[in-house]
Structure 1
Amino acid sequence: MTQSTLELELLRTFVAVADQASFGAAGRQLGRTQSSVTQHMQRLEQQAGVSLFHKQGRQKALTDAGRQLLRHARQMLALNDDILDRLRDNSLSGMLRIGSPHDIADTILPPILSHIARSAPNLRLEIDVGRSPFLMDDLHRGKVDMIISTRTDPTLQGFALRTSPVWWICAAQYQHDPSQPLPLVVVDEPSIFRRVALEALEAHNIPWRQAYLASNLIGIKAAVRAGLGVTARSMEMVGPDMRVLGESDGLPRLPDVTYYLWVRRNAVNPLVQKAYELIRTSQGL
Structure 2
Amino acid sequence: MDIDSLRSFLAIVDTGSFTRAAAQIHRTQSAISMQVKRLEEELGSPLFDREKRPLSLSFAGQRLVSHARRLIAGHDEALDAFKREDTSRPIRLGCPDDYAESLLPQFIKTLRSQVGDQTFDILCASSTRLRQRLDRGELDMAIITRSPDSDEGWLLKHDKGVWVSGSDTDLVHRRPLPVALFDKNCKFHATALDGLGKFGIEVDLVTFTTSASTLKGLARANLAISAMASGSVPPDLQIIHDAHLPPLPAVDIVVVTASRSHPLITPSAVSQLSHTFLTQELPQASLA
TM-score if structure 2 supplies the norm length? Answer: 0.58
Identify the residue that residue 253 of structure 2 maps to in structure 1.
259
CA distance in 2, matches of 1:269, 1:241: 38
Q: Secondary structure at the match of 2:112?
A: helix
Query: In the alignment, is the contact (CA less than 8 A) between 1:212 and 1:223 conserved in 2?
Result: no
Aligned alpha-carbon RMSD (Å): 3.0
Give the total of aligned pairs.
194
Query: In the alignment, is the contact (CA less than 8 A) between 2:98 and 2:211 conserved in 1?
Result: no
Query: In the alignment, is the contact (CA less than 8 A) between 2:154 and 2:271 conserved in 1?
Result: no
Q: 1:203 to 1:128 in 2, by over 3 A?
A: same
Shift of 1:251: 1.1
1:280 to 254, 257, 274: 274
Identify the residue that residue 202 of structure 1 maps to in structure 2.
197
Task: Report the residue type matching 2:229 in the other structure.
Answer: S
Q: 1:206 to 1:113 in 2, by over 3 A?
A: same
Q: 1:146 to 1:122 in 2, by over 3 A?
A: same
Task: Report the residue type matching 1:145 in the other structure.
Answer: D
Shift of 1:111: 2.0
Structure having the higher helix fraction is: 2
Q: 1:187 to 1:158 in 2, by over 3 A?
A: closer
Identify the residue that residue 176 of structure 2 maps to in structure 1.
181
Structure label with greater radius of gyration = 2
Structure having the higher strand fraction is: 1
Identify the residue that residue 144 of structure 1 maps to in structure 2.
139
Structure 1 range deviating more: 203-212 or 134-143: 203-212
Q: Share of identical aligned residues, percent?
A: 24
1:227 aligned onto 2:222: yes
Structure 1 unaligned regions, length at least 5 = 1-89
CA distance in 1, matches of 2:152, 2:209: 31
1:271 to 258, 264, 274: 264
Structure 2 unaligned regions, length at least 5 = 1-83, 280-288
Task: Report the residue type matching 1:141 in the other structure.
Answer: R
CA distance in 2, matches of 1:103, 1:185: 13
